[in-house]
Amino acid sequence: MNDTADPHTAAEQDRYADRHDEHDTGARPPGAGAVTPADAADASRLVSFGLQPKLLPARDLEYAELIRRHRDDPAFARLADAVATGLGLVVLEVSARAGMALAAAEDSVFSVRMGDYSRRAASDSTDRFLHGLAHLAVAAMAFPRPEDLADDGYIGRITVNGVDSFVRQACRRLEERAEEAGENTDPASDAPGLEAAWRVYTRRSATGATKDARRLSGSTIGIIGKAVAFLVDSGFLQKTADDAGGTYRTTARYQLQVRDLASSAAMAELLELGVVPVSDGTAALAPADDSDELVADAGLPFHSH
Amino acid sequence: MRPPNLCVVTATVHHQTPPGAPRPAPGPAADEGLARRLKALACTAPLHDLDVRKANLAGEYTVYSMAEVALASIDLVTLNMDFDTGADHEQVVARLLPRVAAQAPRRPAAEHERVARWVLENLINVGSVDRGFRAVYGTFGPDGAYVRRDYDFKLVEEVPGPDGGVYLRTTDEAVNVLVGALDTDVASAQIAAEVKLEVLIERGRLADAQLAAEQARYRTVQYAESLRRALEATRRNVRAVDWLRAVPDLIAEALDHVADRYRHENAILTNIRRVRDEAEAVDHRTGEHKRRAAELVDIVKDCIRRHTQLQSRLLEAGPLFRAEQDRQAFAAPPARAGTDLYGQLLGPLLPLPVERASKVTDAFFASGTGLRTPAAARVCDLVDGLLTPPLEREHLGALMPEPDLVATPDDSRFSDEQMDTALHLLDLPPDAPRRLSGLLAEARRSDPELPYLLALLAVHAASPPVGVAYRQGEERLLFAVDDGTPLDDPEFGGADLIVGTATLDAAAMAAERAS
C-alpha cells in the first residue's frame, strides 16, 4: 500500500503496514503495546511539521505521507495526538488541506502573550484593547457571515484599510444611536475604564504620517497592520497584493482556529459579562428597520426586520 | 484597589444640598447648552494654544501670528479635500508659505516652512497617542452630582489614500470652528447662502457676494463628505447600510440637489461674467470690482466642478449595490451554523465599557493569534549574534537587478535619411504647389525606395491634421487635393494629387483660442 519511494520511512512503513493488517483483523487489541521508538519519532515528526504553520502537506512529501498515516492508522493518530497534547497543544484538524492544525493550549509554552506581542499593549489598557479588537475585527471581516465560517471551502479576503473602515463604520453607527438617544458618551475623567469601547476606537487616529514613511504603529491602521502581519506569520493569512494597505486571503487553518477556538472562547467571556447575543444563524449585518413587511417593488431580496 | 464603578464615579464630588435648597444646576437643558458651548470653546483652544506656545520654540517666532496660520491651513485642507482623498500634506504646506512669508518677509524661507509645518503638526497634534485633543468639562448628573467628563476631538485628521499615502481631512469640529454655526441642515443652509449670493450680485455688492460664495463652497464640501461616507459604507457591506430607504433617499436628494445647484450656479456664473466684462477698469474702485468678479467666477467654477464630481459618484452607487448584492446574496446556502462574528461578538462588544470589552478581546487574542515556537538560544549562537554588527536599514529598498536589455532590431522600412529627403522634397513654397507625379519622378531619380515614402506622406496630406495644427499654433500645413487628374506612374495608380503648403495665421488662431 505504500508506493511512495521514501527511503527514510520505508522501513517503518513496512512494519506499520504489517501491524495495520493485524489490527484490521482484530488480532491485536487496540492500544496494546507495540509502540516502537520509530513510531514515536514519526508521531513527533508530524507534530513538528504541524508547528511550522506555513508548511503545507502539498509542498512536502514526508509531511503528506505522515498526514495520510494519521488518517489511516488510528493507533498512530492516537500517538501523534498524545504527543501534541503532552507538549501543550490542541489538535484542531489533521487533513491534507490544513496539515496538522495545532493551537496552543492555555498557558502552553507555544501560546502568544500580549506582552511579547506588543510592549505598549502590556502596559496600556487602551492599547491592549485595541490590539485585541484588531484581531477580532480581522476575523469578523474575513468571515462576515456565519455560513462563511462554517463552509470549509470559503476563502475570506480582507484589506487592512477595509478592516479599519469597517470598525469605524460600526462605531459611527453607535455614536449616532447614542446621539439620537441624547446620551452623553463623554466618559467621566476619573474613570477611563468606563468609556465605551467604540469611543476608544473612534478617537484613535486612523493613520498618520511618520518621519521615515512607515505606518504609524499607534494608529488603528498601524495596529490592524500589525495584527495582519502576525497572522501571516502564524500561517493564517496570505498576502495577495499591496492594495488598500495590504490585501490578504485566509487559510484553512485560520478558519479552524477562529471557528473551533477563538470565537467560542470570546463568546464564553461575553456571556460571563452578562451579554447574551442571540443569533438565528443569519447575518446580523442587516439594516435596522421597524416595518415588518417586505417593501413593495424595492427589488431587494431581504426582509426588513 | 477596587475597580471603579458607577457609584464611585458619580460620588466623586457630591454636593451636600440640604432638602429644599435650590438645585446647583438651573436645569438639564441649560446644563446641556452650557456643555455644548464649552465644547465649542474647547475646539478653538488649540488655535490659541499655538500663539501661547510659540514663545517656547527655539528661535524668535513671536512675529508670526500662529492662530492665523492655523485657520488658514484649516481653510486650505477643507478646500483641497477631494471626494476620495483628503488634501496632500506637502501641497497644504506649500500653499501656506505665502501667508507665513508675508508675516515676516525678512526671515529665511526655511523658517517659513518650519512655521507652516509646526502649525500643521500641532493641528494634527502629532505628539499625542490618539493624534487628537482632549478637553475636560463638568456637568451635573440627574441626581445633582457634578461629574467631570472628557471631550475628545480632532481638528485635522490623517486618513489613508487609495495610493497608500496619508492625506489630511478637516473634521466637522474644525469646519464648525472655521465657518461657525455650520451645525445646521446642510441643504437649507446651502439654499440660503445661494439666494443671498444672487441678491448680492444683483446689487453689485461683490465683496459680500464673495464671502457668501465661499461659505456656499464650504457647505458643498460638507455635503460631499457626508455622501462619501454613506457610499463608502455601502461598498464595504451591502447589508450594513439601509438600502430600502435611507440610501435611495439620500441619493435621490443629492441628485436633485446637484441638478438644482448646477442650474443655479450657471445662472450666477453668467451674471458675474457680465459684471466682470462690463466693468471698465477706469479707476481704482472699479478695478477692485473687476478683480472680485474674476475671483467669484473661479469660486463658482470650482463649485460646479465639485457638483459634477459628486454626480458621477451618485450614478455609480446603484450598479455598485447590485454587483455587491449578487456577490453576497447568491452564495451557496450554509452547510452548518457558524458563529456570527460581527453580530454575536464584535457588535455587542463595542457598546460595552472598554474595561469589560477588553476581557472579550483578550480571550479572542489568546486563542485567535496562533502559536509561536519559543526560540532556544545556545550560548555560542548568542555570542555570535551579539558580536554581529547591526544591519543598516535599507533606505532605498532592495538593490534593483540590472535589466538585461536586448536591442530590438531596426525593422523600419525607411531610414532617417530617406525621411529627411522626402520631407525636403515636400517643403514646397506656399505659392507653388506641385503635382504628385512630378514629385514621384524627382524622388525616383535619387532613390528607388523614396517614391513609396513620398506617396505615403502625400496620401496623409490629403487629410491634413488641421485640428492639431490649430491647437499647436503651427504656421505651415502640408495638404493634398484631388482635382480629378489620374496619376500616370509605373508603380502607383489613383489620383494625381496637387500637393502644396498652406500658411496659417498663428497669431489670429492664438487670439481665438484664448477667447
DSSP at B171: -
Contact between chains at B350 and A198 (C-beta distance less than 8 A): yes
> A176 at the B interface (CB within 8 A)?
no
Same domain, A118 and A18: no
Which cell numbers in the block locate residue A297? 417593488
Least confident of B102-116, B142-156, B196-210: B196-210
User: What residues of chain A, 233 to 262, have a C-beta less than 8 Å from chain B?
Assistant: 233-236, 242, 244-245, 253, 257-259, 261-262
Of A137, A164, A142, nearest to B349 (Cα)?
Answer: A137
Residue-level pLDDT at A213 = 65
In a domain, residue B384? The reply is: no
Enter the pTM of the model. Answer: 0.55
Whether residue A131 is found in the same domain as residue A17: no
Residue B390 in any domain: the answer is no
Q: Report how far residue A238's alpha carbon sits from residue A248's, in angstroms, rounded to the nearest whole number.
A: 5
Which of chain B's residues have a Cβ under 8 Å away from the Cβ of A233?
Answer: 370
Q: How confident is the prediction for chain A on average, in pLDDT?
A: 76
Check: CB of residue A286 under 8 Å from CB of residue A271: no
Which of A189, A210, A243, A300 is best to mutate for the B interface (most B CBs within 10 A)? A189
- The verdict on residue B39 lying in a domain is yes
Based on the domain organization, do B228 and B244 belong to the same domain? yes
Please tell me whether residues A42 and A172 are part of one structural domain: no
Burial degree of B284 (CB within 10 A; 0-12, 13-18, 19+): exposed
Binned at pLDDT 50, 70 and 90, residue A21 comes out as very low
Measured between CA atoms, the residue of chain B closest to residue A228 is B369
In a domain, B365, yes or no: no
Interface pTM, i.e. ipTM? 0.77
* Domain shared by B128 and B256, yes or no: no
Per-residue pLDDT for B449 more than 60? yes
Please check whether residue A300 touches B, CB under 8 A. yes
Last residue of a domain, one of A86, A104, A122: A104
Please name which of B78, B63, B72, B71 lies closest in space to residue B46, comparing C-alpha atoms.
Answer: B71
Q: Which of B283, B306, B327 is the last residue of a domain?
A: B327
**Could you tell me the three cell numbers for B189?**
443652509
pLDDT, one tens digit per residue, over A104-156 is 888 888 888 888 888 877 778 888 889 999 999 999 888 887 777 887 778 88
Nearest Cα to Cα of residue A289 among A278, A281, A298 = A298
If asked whether residues B307 and B161 sit together in one domain, one would say no
- Choose one of A40, A69, A104: the last residue of a domain: A104
User: Percent of chain B at pLDDT above 70?
Assistant: 70
Average pLDDT of B18-23?
49
Candidates A100, A164, A203: best to mutate against B (most CBs of B within 10 A) is A203
User: Given B295, B327, B359, which residue is the final one in a domain?
Assistant: B327
In this structure, the answer to whether residues B178 and B201 fall within a common structural domain is no
Same domain, B169 and B189: no
Decide if B300 is inside a domain. Answer: yes
Give the closest-approach CA distance of A65 to chain B in angstroms. 23
Q: What is the pLDDT of residue B89?
A: 84
Distance CA A125, CA B129 (A): 13
Which residue in chain B has the smallest CA separation from A105? B367
- The number of beta carbons lying within 10 Å of the beta carbon of residue A82 is 15
B224 and B125, same domain (yes or no)? no
Question: Taking CA atoms, what residue in A is nearest to B329?
Answer: A301
Answer yes or no: are the C-beta atoms of B69 and B58 closer than 8 Å.
Answer: no
A90 shares its domain with A123: no
Helix intervals (H) in A33-124: 37-50, 61-72, 74-86, 114-117, 119-123
Chain A nearest-CA distance from B18, in A, is 25
Query: C-alpha distances in angstroms, B78 versus B44, B147, B173?
Result: 17, 35, 12
Query: Which chain A residue has the Cα nearest residue B247?
Result: A287
Q: Do A231 and B148 touch (CB under 8 A)?
A: no
Cβ-based contacts of B245 with chain A (< 8 Å)? 289, 295
Tell me the three cell numbers of residue B137. 468639562
Please give the span between the terminal C-alpha atoms of chain B, in angstroms, as a whole number. 79
Cα angle, residue B92 at apex, residues B90 and B93 outer, rounded to 5°: 65
CB atoms B343 and A103 under 8 Å: no
* B81 and B215 within one domain: no
Return the amino acid letter for B264. Answer: H
Rounded mean pLDDT of A213-227?
A: 83
Residue A13 and residue A71 share a domain: yes
Q: Is B366's CB within 8 Å of A150's CB?
A: no
Tens of pLDDT, residues B163-176: 777 888 888 777 76
C-alpha atoms less than 13 angstroms from C-alpha of B428 in its C-beta half-sphere? 21
B381, part of any domain: no
Question: Which of B148, B242, B328 is opposite residue A190, by nearest beta carbon?
Answer: B148
- Examine the pLDDT at B186 and tell me if it is beyond 80: no
Residue A256 cell numbers, joined: 479552524
CB contact under 8 A, B341 and A125: no
Grid cell of A287 as nine digits: 439594516
Q: Of B219, B385, B336, which Cα lies nearest the Cα of A151? A: B336
The DSSP 8-state label assigned to residue B145 in this structure reads: -
Q: How far is A212 from chain B (nearest CA, A)?
A: 9
Compare CB distances from B149 to A187, A259, A279 and report the shortest one's residue: A187
Whether B258 maps to a domain, the answer reads yes
Bridge partners of B131, per DSSP, are none
Which of A190, A230, A261, A290 is most worth mutating to test chain B (most B CB atoms within 10 A of its CB)?
A190
Cα–Cα distance measured from residue A159 to residue A138, given in angstroms and rounded to the nearest whole number: 9
Among A69, A104, A139, identify where a domain stops.
A104
Task: Examine the pLDDT at B68 and tell me if it is beyond 50.
Answer: yes
Q: Which amino acid, residue A221?
A: I
Cβ atoms B220, B303 nearer than 8 A: yes
Residue A134 lies in a domain: yes
Residues A243 and A216 in one domain: yes
Q: How many domains does chain B have?
A: 3
Determine, yes or no, domain membership for A78.
Answer: yes
A291 part of a folded domain: no
B189 and B155 assigned to the same domain: no
If one counts the domains in chain A, the total is 2
Contacts of A112 in chain B (CB under 8 A): 365-366, 369-372
Let me know whether A171 and A237 are in one domain.
yes
State whether A200 and B367 contact (CB < 8 Å): no
Residues A147 and A63 in one domain: no
Asked whether residue B204 falls in the same domain as residue B269, the answer is yes
In this structure, are B224 and B161 located in the same domain? no
pLDDT at B299: 77
Q: How far is A191 from chain B (nearest CA, A)?
A: 6
Task: Collect all residues with Cβ–Cβ distance below 8 Å to A278 and sequence separation of at least 6.
Answer: none
Taking CA–CA distances from B326, the nearest residue in chain A reads A301
Residues B165 and B35 in one domain: yes
Cell of B401: 537587478
Lowest mean pLDDT among A9-13, A223-227, B113-117, B339-343: A9-13
A300 in any annotated domain: no
Tell me: do B2 and B147 sit in the same domain.
yes
Q: Is the Cβ–Cβ distance between A228 and A138 less than 8 Å?
A: yes
Helix (H, G, I), strand (E, B) or coil at B258: helix
For position A24, what pLDDT does the model report? 42
A239 and A159 co-located in one domain: yes
Domain range for residue A241? 114-272
At A189, list the grid cell. Answer: 475623567
All residues of chain A having their beta carbon less than 8 Å from the beta carbon of residue B173 are none
Q: Is residue A16 very low, low, confident or very high in pLDDT (cuts 50, 70, 90)?
A: very low
Q: Is A292 contained in some domain?
A: no
Tell me the mean pLDDT in the region B437-441. 89
Residue A228: band (very low, low, confident or very high) from pLDDT cuts 50, 70, 90: very high
Last residue of a domain, one of B122, B156, B183: B183
- Running DSSP on this structure, what letter comes out for residue B462? T
* A85 and A151 both lie in a single domain: no
Q: Which residues of A fall within a CB distance of 8 Å from B360?
A: 132, 136, 266, 269-270, 273
Residue B182 has a pLDDT of 41
The residue segments making up the domain with residue B480 are: 416-514
Beta carbons of A53 and A95 less than 8 angstroms apart: no
A129 plus A78 within the same structural domain: no
Do residue A158 and residue A100 come from a single domain? no
* Smallest Cα distance from B329 to chain A, Å: 8
